[in-house]
Structure 1
Amino acid sequence: MPDEPKVLVRGLEVDFTVKKRIVRALDRVDLDIARGEFLVIVGPSGCGKTTLLRAMAGLEQPTGGRIEVRPATPGDGDGLKTESAMVFQEHGVFPWMTVTDNVEFGLKAQGVPKRRRREIAGRYISKVGLDAFAAVYPHQLSGGMRQRVSLARAFATDPQLLLMDEPFAALDEQTKLVLQDLLLTIWEETAKTVVYVTHSLDEALVLADRVLVMSGRPGRVREIVDVSAVFERPRSVESVRTDPRYGEMFGRIWNLLAPEAAGVTA
């Protein structure tokens, strides 16, 4: 872990009011996330994974503690410097916009000139394999293709921090595997700092440098597992799943989750 991480979380607490009762979602969470790290968060349903992600995005206000996203450095991107971008499980594309217009949306909001927007959008549309669909509307695309649009839009804004909340959970298994490999390829090219929430231990092992395993509600850091020490970069879905150490790593994380996962409801 570098001396100066990109994201620092210190003593984070988040409470919600549910039917006039205070419910603690996150309790004393401490975490450092390195620049360029791919951190995956797993935990029992209802443990606060998405709450932690939303707090990092500024969409939830901490009840206690703090989150600090360190300023950009020359290695963080190509100069647009959006602080963060978020990719959700739902296909967050605008149905009245073409693929190109969707990918350009964040760039337009930043005031990027039209010619430059088209250049950047075209680059990422090509990276996600949608060149032939640039002028197509979302209703003409499959679910996997719409999620490719979401990925292209997020990376196009050159975020310092990319936050992903189960982006592939609703997809069929084959499409999910293809998009996992695609995400790894783009991430390895751009070296973005990524925080990724998933319920899939397989997905966590395929994607992560480290896996943050959370406790049941209120969410705390149970353990952080260093995956990159076992599965080197660059990697692919196939290379991880066929590695003899895969089962051991899967079992290690499952053993951390199993006691609480069985008794927690969403």
Structure 2
Amino acid sequence: MSGLRIHIREKRFDGKTVLGECTVEAEPGEFIALVGPSGAGKSTLLSLVAGLDEDYDGEITWNGAPLSNHGESPAHMGMMFQEPRLMPWLSALDNVKLAEAERMARDHDYQSNAARLLEEVGLGDATDFWPNHLSGGMQRRVALARAFVVEPQLLLMDEPFVSLDMPTGNRLRRSLLRLCERQRPLVLFVTHDLREALALADRVLFLGDTPARVMLDHPVEGARGKDLESAEVASAQQALLARYPQLLSGILDNARSDADEDEDNA
């Protein structure tokens, strides 16, 4: 099979099985959202794919071969986390260049794409800014550019737009989809927001149960890039809730709790 194949038989933490029998197959260019209640194993699964955690029973392959070498993250893989994780002593431009440093050292003819990517995400005038001079949304844009500067075949995103206000989040989602349209990576996107999953993804995988497993593989109708607050997304969410009420109740409870917390912190 071309693309990604994840087959987890078991993943344990402190003697407890947190991921059970779990198989995911995805082709290059797909955008797959992973959703589920808190503690369902979404970020754990992403860490296994990233090669950050090798202590599990199973296999993860890319085009039929092991995805990562022992102790190494896969080549041509981009990552974006909940926090931007920028180096505070580097400018916005140098933070993005840091991700392509290995390729630049290996290929002396390689021309950096860092400045162009910052321009694409709307930070062309902020390349020399230090991270502490950037707003939270601007820091996420730097992190987005950094994730794409390696021209990833596989892009792992762990709730990258969580806690952002709607206009800022929408701006970043549009930038993400524009970059995906050009580079065509396979995206695994963890989110607790079902609306975000239905707006961005080609497929939504629902994780749940104990130990966690894929409870539902749901293909999303329509094109990517829907408005989170649109009637189309609301209708798709209500249809899923009506069909799988127990599966989705925990996800929606988490979303309401997070929305209340954001309002309290506003």
- The answer to whether TM tops 0.5 is yes
Tell me which residue corresponds to 1:23.
16
How far the C-alpha of 1:62 sits from its partner, in A, is 4.4
Deviation per residue, 1:38-78 (Å, 9 max, x gap): 00000011010000000000111242121112279xxxxxx
Q: Are the aligned partners of 1:214 and 1:220 in contact in 2 as well (CA < 8 Å)? A: yes
Is 1:121 the counterpart of 2:114? The answer is yes
Rounded to whole Å, the distance in 2 between the matches of 1:260 and 1:166 is 17
Rounded to whole Å, the distance in 2 between the matches of 1:92 and 1:117 is 24
How far the C-alpha of 1:181 sits from its partner, in A, is 1.3
Deviation per residue, 1:74-99 (Å, 9 max, x gap): xxxxxxx9332211001111111011
Tell me which residue corresponds to 1:142.
135
Rounded to whole Å, the distance in 2 between the matches of 1:112 and 1:134 is 24
CA RMSD, Structure 1 to Structure 2 (Å): 2.4
Tell me which residue corresponds to 1:257.
247
Rounded to whole Å, the distance in 2 between the matches of 1:158 and 1:86 is 11
Q: Are the aligned partners of 2:2 and 2:64 in contact in 1 as well (CA < 8 Å)? A: no
Tell me which residue corresponds to 1:197.
190
Q: Which residue of 20, 27, 30 corresponds with 1:34?
A: 27
Is 1:52 the counterpart of 2:45? The answer is yes
How far the C-alpha of 1:115 sits from its partner, in A, is 7.8
Residue type matched to 2:4 in 1? V
Rounded to whole Å, the distance in 2 between the matches of 1:197 and 1:42 is 6
Residue type matched to 2:153 in 1? Q
Unaligned residue ranges in structure 1 (runs of 5+): 73-80
Unaligned residue ranges in structure 2 (runs of 5+): 66-73, 258-266
Q: Are the aligned partners of 1:42 and 1:212 in contact in 2 as well (CA < 8 Å)? A: yes
Rounded to whole Å, the distance in 2 between the matches of 1:32 and 1:55 is 15
Rounded to whole Å, the distance in 2 between the matches of 1:114 and 1:82 is 18
| Cα separation, partners in 2 of 1:84 and 1:147, compared to 1, 3 Å | same
Q: Which residue of 203, 206, 225 corresponds with 1:236?
A: 225
SS of match in other structure, 1:153? helix
How far the C-alpha of 1:262 sits from its partner, in A, is 8.1
SS of match in other structure, 2:122? coil
Deviation per residue, 1:210-260 (Å, 9 max, x gap): 000111332101001101xx212xx4343x643x54333212444353355
Rounded to whole Å, the distance in 1 between the matches of 2:246 and 2:219 is 14
State TM-score, norm by structure 1.
Answer: 0.83
| Cα separation, partners in 2 of 1:207 and 1:155, compared to 1, 3 Å | same
Tell me which residue corresponds to 2:86.
93
Residue type matched to 1:139 in 2? N
State TM-score, norm by structure 2.
Answer: 0.83
Rounded to whole Å, the distance in 2 between the matches of 1:24 and 1:105 is 37
Q: Are the aligned partners of 1:209 and 1:226 in contact in 2 as well (CA < 8 Å)? A: yes
Rounded to whole Å, the distance in 2 between the matches of 1:12 and 1:195 is 20
| Cα separation, partners in 2 of 1:173 and 1:37, compared to 1, 3 Å | same
Rounded to whole Å, the distance in 2 between the matches of 1:96 and 1:131 is 19
How far the C-alpha of 1:129 sits from its partner, in A, is 0.9
Tell me which residue corresponds to 2:3.
6
How far the C-alpha of 1:112 sits from its partner, in A, is 5.3
SS of match in other structure, 2:33? strand
SS of match in other structure, 2:161? coil
How far the C-alpha of 1:114 sits from its partner, in A, is 7.6
Q: Size of the alignment, in residue pairs?
A: 243
Q: Are the aligned partners of 1:9 and 1:32 in contact in 2 as well (CA < 8 Å)? A: yes
Q: Are the aligned partners of 2:6 and 2:60 in contact in 1 as well (CA < 8 Å)? A: yes
Is 1:63 the counterpart of 2:50? The answer is no
Identity %: 35
Q: Are the aligned partners of 1:181 and 1:237 in contact in 2 as well (CA < 8 Å)? A: no
Q: Are the aligned partners of 2:76 and 2:152 in contact in 1 as well (CA < 8 Å)? A: yes
